[in-house]
Amino acid sequence: MPVFRYGMALVFMATLLGGAPPASAQAPADAAQVRADLDQLRKDFEQLRQEYGQRIAALEAKLTAASASDTPSLAGAGAAAAAASSNGQQPPAPPEPASTSATAEPAIPPEQIPQVPVGAAAGGGSSGAPVYGGSPVAGSNAFNPDMAVIGNAVGATGVNRVAPEPALQLREAEISLQAVVDPYARADFFVSVGPEGAALEEGFITFPTLPGGVLMKVGKMKAAFGKVNTLHPHVLPWIDRPLAMNLVGGEDGINDAGVSVAKLIPNPWVFLEATGQVFRGESEDLFEPSKRSDLGFVGHLRGYQDISESANLDLGVSYARGHNPSGVADGIDAGRFTTDLFGIDATVRWRPLRRSIYHSFLGRSEVIWSRRGQPSGLQRGMGFYASGDYQVGRRWFAGVRIDRSANPTDVSLIDTGQSVTLTFRPSEFSQVRSQYRRTAYATGPTANEFLFQFQFAIGAHGAHPF
Amino acid sequence: MRRLLTLGCALLLAAPVVARAQGKLNVIASTEDLASIGREIGGDRITIESIARGYQDPHFVEAKPSFILKLMRAEVLIVVGRDLEIGWLPPLIAQSRNAKVQPGARGYLDASQAAKILEIPTGQITRAMGDVHPQGNPHYWLDPENGGLIAKVIADRFSQLRPNDRAYFQQQLASFTTRLAEAVKRWTGLMAPYKGTKVVTYHRSYPNFAERFGLQVIGYVEPRPGIPPSPGHTLELIDEMKRQQIKIILMEPYFDQKTPNAIASQTGAQLLVLPPSVGGEKTITDYFKLFDYDVNLLVGALKKAGVKPGGSH
């Protein structure tokens, strides 16, 4: 029955194109009916096309008239009502120009009004023809990704004999490129350029609308282990990362190529999200595969609840597992040792909505346990940090942090630290931060340091950290 | 084979019909103003909730996971657009796992697409100008005329998604726009004697309001959009206000009153907290009450200030 199939295909396509009248929902029984429907559709379409052509012409005429009289047009809402009731599908038309305009005359002669709203000039009244909807599209740039560069310059004074840092360095310039790929996916790239060269910090595709409420990411990404591991340096409330990050591979943490799947678990009480990630199994100073099958795994469960409109609680448990290189001798992984990490994290946030830009508090703690198999035996170590950051005013933030960590390869070596921070943010796009840090090292003298940081962002407006 | 094909096609064709025959349309609006207009149009055929509260700064809403749950179930998301929600809405939408409300989908409605937009920059813009919105001023709902235009795009979108209720939505729209037209007449009548009155505002929240009601904004407490007041700018503003005899300062409820109070006491001007959104005050429960409140507050203050018709003193 090739004719029948051909007909059904046409019906199907017509439906996809959104043109199927409700009657076709009955699934027509024969091809003749389909043909008739199609002819009708074609006629309808042609009629619509003509109607729209006429309307556009009328609109153009109106616009010309409006710009000729140069009266900012203000509609009577009654006209809009009449238009609305006459045809629901009609594109929004500019309202009729009204001769009795309520528009204020500009206080300043038009030639003194800057093109761009700057400072105190250019009041409520606008000059020129009104703009309804639409927006300027920057031609060939229209599909370029959102781009931004964040500079992070860090200086240090004081004495640190164990982990000294230079007096001043541009620790990182992070270049971000983000855009929607197609109706099904978006892509995010973060390139980090530091003193040691450029590296792809993250690069992944996200499928936000998969069936079953699944959010999938594929590419190189920061693993969903705890909180700090997932954060880029510029959104941290400190200049450094807490000592406990030594247990998850240090500065870069778990950051690997893999696949991530996150699903919300529906329940009537709290926001609950489960994330499962499979990685290649290579993460600096933490995991190293000696075979293709030595994959790394990360699991995270996040629970969130609003306590009030101003306060909320965010809790998480994490697990990570992968092969470590301690058993590798002469290129052969004789030991086949693994590292297991467990983590819990808790965040409490407070931000009164009526004064949300002036005051807020963020308290956060993470505890991480490491079980590292190595030739000398199993090393079970623990690390944690607890911190609180209070927004004193619109631009000022103060914070404290205590941290502690065992050395993952020798858990008898324990470092402890205390920090206080003060941050000034001239705008959303720059900040100056100072941090006094005292670190008691197990392997050397206690360090007392004063760190300072200048951070600045140019380009697209990114999302505010939460 | 043939039966299977028929069944398959019938299911494919029936699916949208079944979906449309569902219960109330689940709508989420980014602000209470859009929710109020949406409620006027949707009536009892929809459920509608807003993300931001009317008394908070809509630029700085937190991207809380509890909002993800709301978006996950939404069939329509109405946004203000013009980058107003750029700091918080994109991550919420991305995590909503809801294809219906992704930008570009039928359930995603940018209410600014039909509204009259002011202050669209035409030249080169940089952040030296502060937090300028490249696509124009996003506070456009403060012109009730725009409220009517927003209502129309909302009614059209609701009708597309629930064709069976088209007549109902269009009827609601007609009723809303008629009542709005009457109210606009009342509001502009109340404000008419004060046409041309010069005012100062805190942020650039009121250009549409000022244009509609004949106010003339001559300066801002913020030296640049999104930049907190500076002593130098404040002094300049005080001088300018004295020179032009400005008697009214308008500010949003979510800003600190310290600097505006100081300016008011230096210049003898009245400081009015003029809610820019539904929910900005307890009594402002819908879009009509927003203008009722704001216009009454203004007229009262203008009378008190002894402003005479034409904006002179």
- Name the average pLDDT for chain A: 81
Tokens of A225: 């282990």
Q: Which amino acid is at A226?
A: G
In a mutational test of the A interface, the residue from B32, B88, B149 whose CB has the highest number of chain A CBs within 10 Å is: B149
Query: Among all residues of chain B, which has the CA nearest to that of A116?
Result: B121
Q: How far is A22 from chain B (nearest CA, A)?
A: 8
Q: How far is A323 from chain B (nearest CA, A)?
A: 31
**pLDDT tens column, B95-107:** 999 999 999 999 9
For chain A, say whether B56 makes contact (Cβ under 8 Å). yes
Question: Taking 70 as the threshold, does the pLDDT of residue B195 lie above it?
Answer: yes
Whether residues B103 and A180 touch (CB distance < 8 A) is answered with yes
**pLDDT tens column, B163-179:** 999 999 999 999 999 99
Question: Taking 80 as the threshold, does the pLDDT of residue B6 lie above it?
Answer: no
Query: Among all residues of chain B, which has the CA nearest to that of A214?
Result: B97
Least confident segment among A8-12, B244-248, B292-296:
A8-12
Residue corresponding to tokens 């100062």: B200
- Res A130: pLDDT: 73
- Res B122: pLDDT: 87
Is residue B123 exposed (0-12), middle (13-18) or buried (19+ Cβ within 10 Å)?
exposed
Contacts of B196 in chain A (CB under 8 A): 104-105
CB A424 within 8 A of CB A452: no
Cβ-nearest to A88 among B17, B136, B159: B159
Q: Is the dihedral of CA B262, B266, B267, B269 positive or negative?
A: positive
Contacts of B122 in chain A (CB under 8 A): 115-116
| Model pTM score | 0.80
Question: Taking 80 as the threshold, does the pLDDT of residue B289 lie above it?
Answer: yes
Provide the percentage of residues in chain B whose pLDDT is more than 70: 91
Once rounded to an integer, what is the mean pLDDT over residues B203-228? 96
Q: How far is B223 from chain A (nearest CA, A)?
A: 5
Once rounded to an integer, what is the mean pLDDT over residues B18-45? 88
Whether residues A104 and B210 touch (CB distance < 8 A) is answered with yes
- Res A42: pLDDT: 73
Cα(A241)–Cα(A439) distance, rounded to whole angstroms?
13
Least confident segment among A205-214, B74-83, B287-296:
A205-214
Query: Among all residues of chain A, which has the CA nearest to that of B104?
Result: A183
- Res A336: pLDDT: 92
Contacts of B181 in chain A (CB under 8 A): 76-78, 81
Cβ-nearest to A215 among B9, B97, B123: B97
Q: 3-class DSSP state for residue B211? A: helix
- Res B311: pLDDT: 54
Cα(B236)–Cα(B239) distance, rounded to whole angstroms?
5
CB B139 within 8 A of CB B208: yes
Q: How far is B234 from chain A (nearest CA, A)?
A: 11
For chain A, say whether B150 makes contact (Cβ under 8 Å). no
In a mutational test of the A interface, the residue from B177, B178, B201, B212 whose CB has the highest number of chain A CBs within 10 Å is: B177
Is residue A324 exposed (0-12), middle (13-18) or buried (19+ Cβ within 10 Å)?
buried
- Res A94: pLDDT: 40
Complex-level ipTM beyond the 0.90 threshold: no
Query: Among all residues of chain B, which has the CA nearest to that of A263?
Result: B97
Cα(A234)–Cα(A442) distance, rounded to whole angstroms?
29
DSSP string, A319-335: EEEEE-GGGEETTEE-S
Cβ-nearest to B145 among A74, A105, A119: A74
Question: Taking 70 as the threshold, does the pLDDT of residue B10 lie above it?
Answer: no
Q: How far is A200 from chain B (nearest CA, A)?
A: 22
* pLDDT one digit per residue (tens) for chain A, 466 residues: 444 455 444 444 444 444 333 444 444 456 666 677 767 767 776 666 666 666 766 666 566 555 444 433 333 333 443 443 444 344 444 443 333 333 333 333 333 333 333 333 333 334 456 778 766 555 567 889 999 999 999 999 999 999 999 999 999 999 999 999 998 999 999 999 999 999 999 999 999 989 888 999 999 999 999 999 999 999 999 999 999 999 999 888 999 999 999 999 999 999 999 999 999 999 988 999 999 999 999 999 999 999 999 999 999 999 999 999 998 888 888 889 999 999 999 999 999 999 999 999 999 999 999 999 999 999 999 999 999 999 999 999 999 999 999 999 999 999 999 999 999 999 999 999 999 999 999 999 999 999 999 999 999 998 888 8
Torsions phi, psi for A407 (to 5 deg): -80, 125
